[in-house]
Amino acid sequence: MAPEKTFYLETFGCQMNAHDSEKVIGTLQSEGYRQVNSEEEAGLILYNTCSIRDKAEQKVFNRLNDYKKLYKSGKRFGVLGCVAQQEGEKIFERAPYVSLVSGSASYRKLPEMLARLESGENRITGLDDRQTDETFETEFTSRQNPYRGYITIIEGCDKFCAYCVVPYTRGKERSRTSDSVLEEARRIADLGYTEIQLLGQNVNSYKDPEGKLSFAELLAAVGQVPGIRRVRFTTSHPRHFTKDIVEAIDSVPTLCDHVHLPVQSGSSRVLKAMAREYTRDWYLERISWIKAAKRRISLSTDIIVGFPGETPEDFIETMDLLAEVQYDGVFGFKYSARPNTPALVMIDSIPESEKAHRLQVLLDRQREIQRANYANHLGEVIEVMVEGQNVARGQISGRSSQNKPVNFTWPNPIAPAPGSYLQVKITATHPNSLVGEAV
Ligand code: SAH
Ligand code: SF4
Ligand code: F3S
């Protein structure tokens, strides 16, 4: 009997990577591999990597540092994802015990690459498919999240923002047909999922290859799939944010009242240098559409501080934008110079300490904005989808439609199942979460 094939997979980075991993796991399982929970138990060790910032990339190489012993004992290592695509064969030099390097656009070839690995081949690469028109659809998706079903609707990115590696690591934009997206949505609903998250690096630049549905129409159609109670979508790009998205949220109650719309900077001058293709005013106009919706739509964003040439005045414009928009969540990052990107040659004149200072000022201010925003929920009754339990605190945890974490008490000894929906009365608030009791 052939020895059992086992694998361990660890995922870094964004939700696209998390969902790619679900497809990779499904593909490996269909090839006869069994997933295990530790490197010790595994014959094949895979990392699905992220290179968005320097720190993310370092995490992977720290892992791969000292695997000589494990390699000698017969274990094999593979690097998948964005660091794989970015560094390519250089990975074999930096980490000599790696046998497989594949970017996300080549995962369709995983069965073939695995077969080569099994036959003893080394230095196997899947790196050449970034110009492909194909997406990585698989019938074998092994969903790891018990209550939220992810669906990739568009892969890649054509935007080439000056600081960003994604267009180089994930290739050009390619969308799936709306028919195949809806079919997957129905399949997920049949499995019992009630929440769907549509994914894309620029989810709203979705273009149906058959021209049947616009992005907003697709959103509405997914929201009308029987059994689906919540639909989220991420990440939207301001450049493609159209009014009909707000209209869809207004008219289809299952579309969650939350939009993540990364702004990156409040200064039009910096936005221009970043090649974001919009100005502060253009962005704020989209925000005004969202704020004019019939339902209150929660807003969140991403911001980069310390982009090359960002002056104290530019930074103040970003701070003013925070005060104006009143986000419910901000992901703030210090600019990190990345390989291949146009910003790499810009003079990165802002010292690390100043970047750190700006980030701290930004996050402190945002915390106060959120403290006030979250306090507005006091006394409300909110629908929460249960995600888990904090036994030590005697609390159930979940999320509101606006994607706010809610921790609450529950009167019965038997905890509600993950994925169930409850009405919760909010009795206390924090800058990042709500506290309540089930009613
Ligand atoms: N496609 C999305 C963003 C994907 S990357 C969009 O355009 O909005 C997620 C976030 O990482 C970005 O929004 C940006 O804020 C941050 N980011 C990307 N490259 C970065 C870099 N080189 N340094 C610091 N932050 C970066
Ligand atoms: Fe990166 Fe810009 Fe593409 Fe977003 S839109 S993934 S920030 S290049
Ligand atoms: Fe990271 Fe690649 Fe996602 S760089 S953020 S894993 S697209």
Per-residue pLDDT of the chain (439 residues; tens, 9 = 90+): 567 999 999 999 999 999 999 999 999 999 999 999 999 999 999 999 999 999 999 988 888 877 877 888 889 999 999 999 999 999 999 888 999 999 998 998 999 999 999 999 989 999 977 777 777 777 788 998 888 999 999 999 999 999 999 999 999 999 999 999 999 999 999 999 999 999 999 999 999 999 999 999 999 999 999 999 999 999 999 999 999 999 999 999 999 999 999 999 999 999 999 999 999 999 999 999 999 999 999 999 999 999 999 999 999 999 999 999 999 999 999 999 999 999 998 987 899 999 999 999 999 999 999 999 999 999 999 999 999 998 888 899 999 999 999 999 998 888 899 999 999 999 999 999 999 999 9
- pLDDT of the residue at 68: 78
Regarding beta strands 98-102 and 76-81, do their DSSP bridges make them parallel or antiparallel, or are they unpaired?
parallel
pTM, full prediction: 0.95
Cα 15 to averaged position of ligand 3 atoms, centre (Å): 8
- pLDDT of the residue at 399: 97
Within its chain, how far is the Cα of 372 from the centroid?
27
What is the rounded distance in angstroms from the CA atom of residue 341 to the CA atom of residue 338?
6
Six-digit token string for 273 = 């240098």
Q: 46 forms bridges with which residues in the sheet? A: 9, 78
pLDDT in tens, 336-391: 999 999 999 898 789 999 999 999 999 999 999 999 999 999 999 999 999 999 88
The residue length of the chain stands at 439
Give the position, in ligand 2's atom list, of the atom nearest the Cα of 170: 6
What is the rounded distance in angstroms from the CA atom of residue 328 to the CA atom of residue 301?
9
Cα 381 to averaged position of ligand 2 atoms, centre (Å): 37
- pLDDT of the residue at 1: 58
Share of the chain above pLDDT 70, in %: 100
Give the position, in ligand 1's atom list, of the atom nearest the Cα of 164: 19
User: How is the chain split into domains, by residue range?
Assistant: 5-126, 148-375, 381-438
CATH for the stretch 381-438 = 2.40.50.140
Cα 429 to averaged position of ligand 3 atoms, centre (Å): 32
CA-closest residue to ligand 1 atom 4: 201
Q: 426 forms bridges with which residues in the sheet? A: 436
Residue 338 contacts by C-beta under 8 Å, 6 or more apart in sequence? 51, 52, 53, 54, 163, 164, 165, 344
- Best CATH choice for the domain 5-126 from the list 3.40.50.720, 1.10.3720.10, 3.40.50.1100, 3.40.50.12160: 3.40.50.12160
CA-closest residue to ligand 3 atom 3: 14
Cα 82 to averaged position of ligand 2 atoms, centre (Å): 13
Would you say 71 and 77 are in contact if contact means Cβ atoms under 8 Å apart? yes
Would you say 232 and 198 are in contact if contact means Cβ atoms under 8 Å apart? yes
Annotated binding site for [4Fe-4S] cluster: 14, 50, 82, 157, 161, 164
What is the rounded distance in angstroms from the CA atom of residue 258 to the CA atom of residue 261?
10
- pLDDT of the residue at 72: 83
- pLDDT of the residue at 71: 83
Q: Which residues line ligand 3 (CB under 6 A)?
A: 13-14, 16-17, 50-52, 81-82, 165-166, 169-170
Closest CA to 29 of 12, 6, 10: 6
* Domain covering 148-375: architecture: Alpha-Beta Horseshoe (3.80)
What is the rounded distance in angstroms from the CA atom of residue 194 to the CA atom of residue 383?
14
